[in-house]
Amino acid sequence: MEIAIVIGLLVIAIILFATEKFSVDVVTIGLILVLSLSGIITPKEAFEGFSSDFIIILASIFIISGALAETGLLDKVGSQMIKVVKSKTLFVGYTMFVTGVLSAFMNNTTVTALVIGPVIGMCRKLKLSPSKVLIPVAFASILGGTCTLIGTSTNIAVSGYIAQAGMKPLGFFEVLVIGLIFLATGIIFILLFYKRLLPNYKETDYNDRYEIAQYLSEIVVSEKSKLVGQLAFHSDLSKQEVRILKIIRNKEDFIPNSATRIHGNDILIVECSVEDLIKIKESPQLHVLADTIKHKEIESGKIILAELIITPGSGLINRSLKEARFRQNYDLVVLAVQRFGGTVSQKIGGLKLKIGDTLLVQGTQEDIDNNRATNDFSIIGDFRVNMFKEKKGIFAATIFLVAVIAGTLEWAPLSITFMAAALLTVLSGAINVERVYQVINWKLLILIGGMTAFGTAMENSGASNFLAENILNLLGDLGPMYVLGGFVILVILLTQPMSNAAAALVVLPVAIDTANLMNVDPRTFAIAIMLGASVSLIAPFEPSCILVFGPGKYKFMDFLKVGLPLTLILFILLMILVPIFWPFQ
């Protein structure tokens, strides 16, 4: 009965993870509650994963990575390294190499977000389509993460699980050689085939790209109008979903802020739908000077259009533009939102923002420049670095390096060295305490801690042993190599609907039991599954791929054309190399 419950919960979890009907952390907590109430795991086992070393390591890495991004140090390193190469082909390869190296020690999503800006800027200078470079950048960040213990959350999660299973935890550089081979293979493959396999989408006009369906109009406010004296952002016009983009007063134009009030004889440049424009025309106290303003006019003079991308750790994530008071806080007007798989250009005020959303904004050059230092989004195009915390960034990087060395040489446990580094980073002022709680990916920590408990439930119930015996009956006669290949293919497929870490932790208990039944080293299976979860590049569901989807103007098939053959090559390499470095016996 317990076996049926656990396997049934596993199937339900995979479906819920794939459909995203509920948040992954909510699903994980639900699983823990069901398993605890059914008696399959004890309360201690349910929460043991949350207090383990690897959760401390992962949280510390989020803090240190956040500090390095916040101080502008990673921006400076990434942009300066990328700007060295002037040849198109060398630029693609060199950018992948830089991204991969940084991802070996940083969260790969953070690294991808940081290099998107300078990469697009260099593409424009080299007259190279960003669509030729951004998929390689995303793939390099994923493959670079396979090089070290801390390169990806999957490695840390698997290391923690095998330690609980009685095996030696993963060494910091234990997978370095095979990780470098994977990264080199990815770079070579892209350089050989990027011209043929990657699309060559030309950069188009902002308005064509976002298909903005709203009208831009000039309205004169009469002195008798009810609008006179009203705050621009809380006026009767704003309640009608009419956006005031600019005010012309006494022959001077400016963008209103939260304190701006409307005066008589003001000329308002507004954005509205056709229906709203008709209502304005019918008002006796408002006069429409021009039904539309040409898009070229709003991109000239002081008012320009720009694109920005929502980055990991942003305070805007899961908040709408209205809730975040975007216009008031940033003095920028959002005209459209481009999301993974499509463009949203109407009724965007209530849309909950996600990582990777690209926003088309309008404002003055000064306002756009003033927002370059924010941690809530990255402005795509001309790239500037926030330099005022450079010394603190260098201090944080030094502390991080010392922690890596101390942990690698086993002067102290890695969890202790990383936690000490995170504490010193906060005390140095490189990142403030409030920001710490924003940069930590709590959903991922809950997911990993909860799925560790699920692995315990599979052991306690006998579900992992039951599945292992059935897999052996199916593939056992073919030998351990075929059984291992079956598990790696399974985890590659599961990473499409699930996160890499979750997929690895679901398969790991069954794989370890299977290895023990076959009398082969379970570490071979554990490392193969861990690496298999990180070489799945078939679909653009990884956060790094989602980040480049909008800026690269990609389609789903663009990732499939490049990712599928590369995944097959990496799978073959994995099957050859893992048994050599970690023999079955």
- Domain-by-domain residue ranges, the chain? 2-202+397-573, 207-298, 304-380
User: Contact, 113 vs 540, CB < 8 A?
Assistant: no
On whether the pTM is more than 0.75, the answer is no
What is the CATH class of 207-298? alpha beta
Residue 394: Cβ-neighbour burial (10 angstroms; 0-12, 13-18, 19+): middle
Question: From first to last of its 585 residues, what are the pLDDT tens digits of the chain?
Answer: 778 888 788 778 777 776 667 777 888 888 888 888 888 888 888 888 787 787 888 888 888 877 877 776 666 665 665 566 667 888 888 889 989 998 888 878 778 877 887 787 778 778 888 889 999 999 999 999 999 988 888 888 888 888 888 888 888 889 999 999 999 999 999 999 988 888 888 766 555 555 554 556 678 888 888 888 888 888 888 777 788 878 888 878 788 887 889 998 888 887 776 566 666 766 777 776 644 444 454 554 456 777 888 887 788 888 888 888 888 888 887 777 777 655 554 556 677 888 888 887 877 777 887 887 677 887 775 444 444 466 788 888 888 888 888 888 878 888 898 899 889 988 888 888 878 887 787 877 887 888 778 878 877 887 777 777 777 777 777 888 988 988 898 888 878 767 788 788 888 888 888 888 889 999 999 999 999 988 888 877 677 887 787 778 888 788 889 999 999 999 999 999 999 999 988
CATH superfamily of domain region 304-380: Regulator of K+ conductance, C-terminal domain (3.30.70.1450)
pLDDT at position 289 is 63
Q: Tell me how far apart the alpha carbons of residues 248 and 302 are, in angstroms, rounded to a whole number.
A: 12
Q: What is the pLDDT of residue 22?
A: 76
Establish whether domains 207-298 and 304-380 are of one fold. yes
pLDDT value at residue 292: 46
The label of the residue with tokens 């959002």 reads 334
First to last CA, the chain: 35
| 377-380 sheet: strands from edge to edge | 342-344, 333-339, 358-364, 303-310, 377-380
